Structure 1
């Protein structure tokens, strides 16, 4: 048998396969690291499930509450025609879409003459007719709230609720991290108090 065929022949060895570290938990991972990781996952789960539920619920509640106000005002107020009885003189250069407070009068449901004050455009002078809103007691009121306000209120409330939930998530995550960091620093200080005398003795011994 030749030396080339001998299993003990000298020569370069075959490269060994690269040894990978064993799979499993990281030995350098501390208990506080595992607590932080699990807590972060829990917060993410709460955020994913709670944010849409909270924002939709708050938005719908605000929408329904505002719609009840809209419906109540629409039921209690009605529009009538009144006549301007006294009005201040419009200032020169005033915009046409500005409002002025004037005295108005109208005939109530019982036939009696009613009076009050109302906000009307500047182009309305004494003797002009205006459309105003009054309640069941013939008291001048603002126009009923439009239904679009309920939709806008619902969206705004839902959006603010979503921001609040997200802010709570961020604050909770940072709070836990700060608490765990304080504990880690305390452990490091305690360990250093034990190691530092031995470490210093190696250089001064």
Structure 2
């Protein structure tokens, strides 16, 4: 009885499975190498180019919007005005969180009386004090944009840029593969025209 395991049938060493051929592969076509490089370029674009492009776009959009915020904050200021009308149906017919357009009156820095239409919150009635915004000329304007708006714009620009980079990268990779496949099919067809007569025996007739 053999206590040393199964006997080797072929020689003194068991055959070992060869690893993948690391040398030049004769079956590897030039189009295969080009496709491999396209895949590497595609992955580099996703790993390196996508974050860089998205962050750059987000930073640029955020900076631009913050300049708008600072300009609006510098050119607008809040004042206290008096509501000149009551919402239709009474103050309790409008939710306190629901804004509505109403006439307001206020006294300007020059002592003159002004009036206009502003957006106010619900739950108010004629004579209540409301906060409105005016520009340097004293005209009613909307409140200045907030830094949170700038952050939202930055995030949106970054996400949109990331989606655009992914779309363009996928489209370029698909187009490159389509062109390479077209060349492969053309070469296969040309080679088949040479090989098929001999393979099918039509040349021996």
TM surpasses 0.5? yes
4+ aligned runs moved over 6 Å, structure 1: none
Number of the residue aligned with 2:61: 62
Task: Establish whether residue 132 from structure 1 lines up as the match of residue 129 from structure 2.
Answer: no
Aligned residue runs from structure 1 range 6-155, under 5 A: 14=11, 18=15, 20=18, 23-90=22-89, 94-155=94-155
User: Max radius of gyration: which structure?
Assistant: 1
Per the normalisation by structure 2, the TM-score is 0.83
Q: Structure 1: which 5+ runs fail to align? A: 1-11
Mark the runs of 5 or more structure 2 residues left unpaired by the alignment. Answer: 1-8
Instruction: Return 129-138 or 43-52, whichever deviates more.
Output: 43-52
Q: More deviation in 174-183 or 162-171?
A: 162-171
Alpha-carbon shift at residue 17 of structure 1 (Å):
5.8
| Mapped contact 1:87–1:101 kept (Cα < 8 A) | no
Over the aligned positions, Cα root-mean-square deviation in angstroms equals 2.5
Secondary structure (helix, strand or coil) at the match of 1:18 reads coil
> Match of 1:86, SS?
coil
User: SS state of the match for residue 111, structure 2?
Assistant: coil
Q: CA deviation at 1:118?
A: 0.9
* TM-score normalised per structure 1: 0.83
**Match for residue 6 of structure 2?**
none
* Alpha-carbon distance between aligned partners in 1 of 2:126 and 2:73, rounded to the nearest angstrom: 29
Alignment correspondent of 1:191:
191
Bigger Cα displacement from structure 2, 137-146 vs 95-104: 95-104
Aligned-residue offset at 1:115: 0.8
Q: Distance in 1 between matches of 2:10 and 2:88?
A: 109
Write the deviation string for residues 37-60 of structure 1: whole angstroms up to 9, x where unpaired.
Answer: 122223333433322221111111
Summarize the Cα distance change of 1:108–1:93 in structure 2 as closer, same or farther, 3 Å threshold.
Answer: closer
